[in-house]
Amino acid sequence: MRADGKREGRGTIVGVRRDEGAATTSAELRAHNLARLLRAVHYGGGQLTRAELTRQLSLARGTATVLVRDLAGRCLIEELTGPVDATVQRARGRPTGVPSAHARGPVALAVDLRDDSFTVAAFELTGRCTVLDRQERDAGSGTGVLTDVAERLEVRGRQFGDRVVGVGVAVPSPVRGSTMVQPTLTEWQDVDVTAALGPVLAGNDATLAGLAEARRGVLRGVPVALHLHVATGIGGVLLADGLPVTGAHGSAGEFGHMPLTGSDEPCRCGSVGCWELDAGARGLLRAAGRPERGDRMLQAEQIVAAAGTDPHSGRALGLVARALGRGIGALVNAQDPEAIGLSGLAALVYTADPGAVTAGYLSTLMRFRRGDPPALLPSTLGDLGALTGASELVFDAFLTPRGLSTWPAPEQQTEQKAEQKTA
């Protein structure tokens, strides 16, 4: 989408930038086009040739050449040799470059914070991810985990230096701003993530998993999509043109705490009859007659894995699959998405028993929707969903004229000037 709200190229999802008003001076226009081009490289995952980017952004070829040279000069991209450009006369056979991530280019650090572990990863401009740290929470306290995360971020910050353009954090709680307002871990109640970890961008893990699917996964190019992430509970997000609809305070998408399957049981959240009691990991443990103790996700995964050979597990899976489908049907009635992404346990359950999920889904869909129900799409990002979404928060802020004006960092600029003088 362009800043004026129009779609930019076929199937391309580009977020709205609030700081990008109409460019009036030539310097503003240039900054605007540099940010557009860099975002297109980012969304394209470094796979698009300069010729394809030029067409997608409706730029003149000469303009694109100048912009690419500028971005390369600032170490934001590096142009690799690509295939022959079909738009150039065949006889000349000129290869077109592929603008890709620069070896000294920007890096987003991302954290996936969970009740029982955390992961830190680095993302390059084109979305390439390197997992740097993964740490289980053994006997340590929740507060101790945050101290450990802050310490790892400091170490990785030193490692990547001026290349770090921001830190994104996925948290296992609804958020208001950057505060965890109802985490499962009581020690994190009302913890402001920026107070604990410094200047970071924080978001709910299921919301960020959905954002990642819209940008780099199964919901890419889907104008209105619903994403559901099932773990112990169920979270998710509605995405319009690739942007999460997160509500007035950032805490929308708590679909697990809606009474979609009709029970009267009290839930840990303070409500009654919540969907996650029937369709999350807790629902699966209860259906299988297992106590809700220990690592519930691990046990739920074991039940799904055993369902093919053990009839008791198979029955439990069938019940939960049907409950999952019924809830999805109700949400589709409410939100009218074109497709539904499924991650975590939802993807596992759907893959293991698509028939039961689909039966539940069709049973609650309104009649007029049943002829062409929106597709259910299991995630391809797997465990990297929330991390990838956290990195997208950082790049969304950086890939704007204002964000790019901070690059390279003042120290690098000084170094470059010194190099130019000695050259």
CA-wise closest residue to 100 among 47, 37, 166, 172: 47
Least separation in angstroms between residue 270's CB and Zn ion is 7
Least separation in angstroms between residue 259's CB and Zn ion is 9
| The one segment of 90-98, 195-203, 271-279, 290-298 that binds Zn ion by CB under 5 A | 271-279
Dist. CA 112–CA 177, nearest whole Å: 17
- 274 is an interface residue for Zn ion by CB under 5 A: yes
187-192 CB contacts, 8 Å cutoff, 24+ apart = 187/141, 187/142, 187/143, 188/142, 188/146, 191/146
Please say which residue, 276 or 396, places its beta carbon nearer to Zn ion: 276
Q: Where are the alpha helices (DSSP H) in 249-353?
A: 276-279, 281-287, 296-306, 311-335, 345-352
The DSSP call for residue 177 is T
Dist. CA 93–CA 109, nearest whole Å: 40
Dist. CA 302–CA 294, nearest whole Å: 13
The token pair that represents 99 in the structure block: 């603008």
The token pair that represents 61 in the structure block: 């070829």
Dist. CA 420–CA 12, nearest whole Å: 39
Dist. CA 30–CA 23, nearest whole Å: 9
Please say which residue, 105 or 235, places its beta carbon nearer to Zn ion: 235
Please count the other Cβ atoms lying within 10 Å of the Cβ belonging to residue 176: 16
Query: Under DSSP, is residue 209 helix (H, G, I), strand (E, B) or coil?
Result: helix
Least separation in angstroms between residue 274's CB and Zn ion is 3
Least separation in angstroms between residue 347's CB and Zn ion is 22
Please say which residue, 64 or 330, places its beta carbon nearer to Zn ion: 330
CA-wise closest residue to 36 among 11, 68, 62: 68
Please say which residue, 270 or 311, places its beta carbon nearer to Zn ion: 270
150 phi and psi angles, rounded to 5 deg: -60, -40
Strands 234-240 and 224-230: antiparallel
Please say which residue, 260 or 356, places its beta carbon nearer to Zn ion: 260
| Binding residues for Zn ion restricted to 380-399, rule: CB under 5 A | none
CA-wise closest residue to 279 among 222, 339, 342: 342
- Write out the H or E segment, with its range, that includes residue 171: strand 164-171
The token pair that represents 78 in the structure block: 């590096």
- 77 is an interface residue for Zn ion by CB under 5 A: no
Q: Which of 130, 141, 143, 271 binds Zn ion (CB under 5 A)?
A: 271
Please say which residue, 36 or 257, places its beta carbon nearer to Zn ion: 257
Please say which residue, 89 or 186, places its beta carbon nearer to Zn ion: 186
- 272 is an interface residue for Zn ion by CB under 5 A: no
Please say which residue, 176 or 220, places its beta carbon nearer to Zn ion: 176
Please say which residue, 167 or 234, places its beta carbon nearer to Zn ion: 234
| Binding residues for Zn ion restricted to 211-270, rule: CB under 5 A | 257, 267, 269
Dist. CA 313–CA 246, nearest whole Å: 36
Contacting residues for 69 by C-beta, under 8 A, at least 6 apart: none
Q: Cα 384–296–188 angle (5° rounding)?
A: 70
Please say which residue, 124 or 278, places its beta carbon nearer to Zn ion: 278
Please say which residue, 327 or 401, places its beta carbon nearer to Zn ion: 327
- Determine the size of the site formed for Zn ion (CB under 5 A): 5
Least separation in angstroms between residue 199's CB and Zn ion is 32
Least separation in angstroms between residue 65's CB and Zn ion is 56
The DSSP call for residue 372 is S
Least separation in angstroms between residue 59's CB and Zn ion is 50
Least separation in angstroms between residue 267's CB and Zn ion is 3
Least separation in angstroms between residue 208's CB and Zn ion is 21
Dist. CA 195–CA 124, nearest whole Å: 26
Binding site for Zn ion (CB under 5 A): 257, 267, 269, 271, 274
